[in-house]
Structure 1
């Protein structure tokens, strides 16, 4: 089976975002519809935030989650996969690492949640991969559509808000994303542009995974649907690897070192990188993940709290 584009099973996939829009103009229109929705600032109440190199899936009636979402996507792509029969929705934040493995894991997770509903189809939405100078966004795009194309189930691409469509140029002709993130209301499937001032528990630790973890420790599932726990799987990082960076480098230097799009990052990105490096400096992986066990959090009064 292949990735289905506007009802068509293509012999050859588009090799870049521009080719997708040239061959299937409908995707430019539906992307414009998404971009026309005002962006919302999402509070943490019953929020399941998915960071870079993470994914999660939920059913519409999940008692812990009202909104699932992600942001800070520049060259990355946020994928949303929904089963039209069960209403289950999965969201992943892909940066080009472990793409094929991550796509397979997302599909299998969603399929598992939808076993009771045989009718329905898998619908895919892509958001991100702005038109940057190095074309690294295009590499992420190609990897994702190829991975979905190779999966044996038919998957319908219903939204592609990527490339030039999601890009705007500032006064200095620097390209930047029009939106950096999205949210989905899990009960209705409604999607909207969104930002998240509070990204949930242990955000600095979770951010380390995308730059320090081994490839096999990336694209991890952060939500246990049976227990309702948010989980941070253990991974290894070196606490002294960045000790010379976090305290004395400028914001510009940090962005150049740790971002694929230093001119297009959200305003708080350098601050977040600095805090992440400080966390690495002060906390070893052995101390954080005692006995190599995951960190678990449960929903209490609408917020995630550590499991005692």
Structure 2
């Protein structure tokens, strides 16, 4: 159940509407408290996180969440948790008001919302009377026409009309509203709240990353560089990009971090060995072609997108057999050292 300002939220949607979650979503976006919270979030300066020597943030313990991953952290182990690179994706934060345990997910598809939310709530050890703070950041109006889905028709036709982010945000809101747990929406920097247009009228996201201070629950805009998207950056990117045929991940968010032991466990996944030929083709594309063929939002990607895509493809060409990356299907495990760095456990 969604709460705003401490009271249950109701938009009085039409009972005849085939997609009530869109009406609830629109009503939330228009709520004065959500408008104020989004504006306050956007006014904060973006923090640039790097593990490069000399950056004060790297002295703090953090957990980074990639696309289609989630992680739950304890304040006694982790100072902040965050994600970035979200354009049509949405970052979901759920924090237990009582103990500060915080779960963050980087959602990229409506298909992972239901099981993903269940996984997050399970890791938070919630009960019916648990009070949870929720933040939604990312996703923007990536299509000029916002049909809201009322006209029906094929899902692909609707997606072209409303863009990628609307279906995803609608599914998240529906899942939160239908769950018995009290979800107190604190930030809703999505869709119209997270869109600006350049001089050519092209829409772009305002914020595509954030971090959460685990001790306070305070959320700030943030971007991470390659050195701070750790550990196992390339493999974590690879399994999102090329393990789409792995039945183990159908409808799921990828597991990453063990909160109790403060360690990463990058679960194994498989991919077709023939994908190396696809990767070779991608490596022959121009920068513009990589954006057009590999991104849902080619006009809004950050400058690193093309090079990151090529790095993953080069890795796949060099390592086409997943069984050599995950021998016997065992996960890659990393533990934090006394200096705060991640060390691979053999």
Scaled by the length of structure 1, the TM-score of the pair is 0.91
The structure in which a higher percent of residues are helix is 2
Does structure 2 conserve the Cα–Cα contact (< 8 Å) formed by 1:67 and 1:183? yes
Q: How many residues are aligned here?
A: 300
Match among 247, 262, 270 for residue 228 of structure 1: 262
Q: 1:262 to 1:147 in 2, by over 3 A?
A: same
Q: Output the CA distance in 1 between the equivalents of 2:208 and 2:33.
A: 22
Residue deviations 1:178-207 (CA, integer Å, cap 9, x gap): 121000121222211000002112222211
List 4+ stretches of structure 1 deviating above 3 A: 11-14, 16-19
Residue deviations 1:122-145 (CA, integer Å, cap 9, x gap): 111100111101421001101111
Counterpart of 2:237 in structure 1 is 207
Give the secondary-structure state (helix, strand or coil) at the position aligned to 1:72: coil
Residue deviations 1:19-69 (CA, integer Å, cap 9, x gap): 4223x221011011001000011123322100001001112111xx22210
After superposition, residues 133-212 of structure 1 pair within 5 angstroms as 133=143, 134=160, 135-197=163-225, 198=227, 199-212=229-242
Counterpart of 2:336 in structure 1 is 299
1:58 is aligned to 2:65: no
Query: Which sits farther off after the overlay, 119-128 or 130-139?
Result: 119-128
Which runs of 5 or more structure 1 residues have no equivalent in the other structure?
Answer: none
Does structure 2 conserve the Cα–Cα contact (< 8 Å) formed by 1:52 and 1:210? yes
Q: 1:150 to 1:120 in 2, by over 3 A?
A: closer
CA-CA distance at 1:120 after TM superposition: 5.4
Q: Root-mean-square deviation (CA), in Å? A: 1.9
Scaled by the length of structure 2, the TM-score of the pair is 0.82
After superposition, residues 16-165 of structure 1 pair within 5 angstroms as 17-22=25-30, 24-44=31-51, 45=58, 46-62=61-77, 65-96=78-109, 97-111=111-125, 121-133=131-143, 134=160, 135-165=163-193
Q: Output the CA distance in 1 between the equivalents of 2:189 and 2:38.
A: 5
Q: 1:243 to 1:30 in 2, by over 3 A?
A: closer
Counterpart of 2:272 in structure 1 is 238
Match among 308, 315, 318 for residue 272 of structure 1: 308
Give the secondary-structure state (helix, strand or coil) at the position aligned to 1:273: helix
After superposition, residues 7-22 of structure 1 pair within 5 angstroms as 7-10=7-10, 12=13, 14-15=21-22, 17-22=25-30
Query: Which sits farther off after the overlay, 231-240 or 285-294?
Result: 231-240
CA-CA distance at 1:158 after TM superposition: 1.7
Q: Output the CA distance in 2 between the equivalents of 1:170 and 1:305.
A: 43
Q: If you compute each CA radius of gyration, which structure gives the higher value, 1 or 2?
A: 2
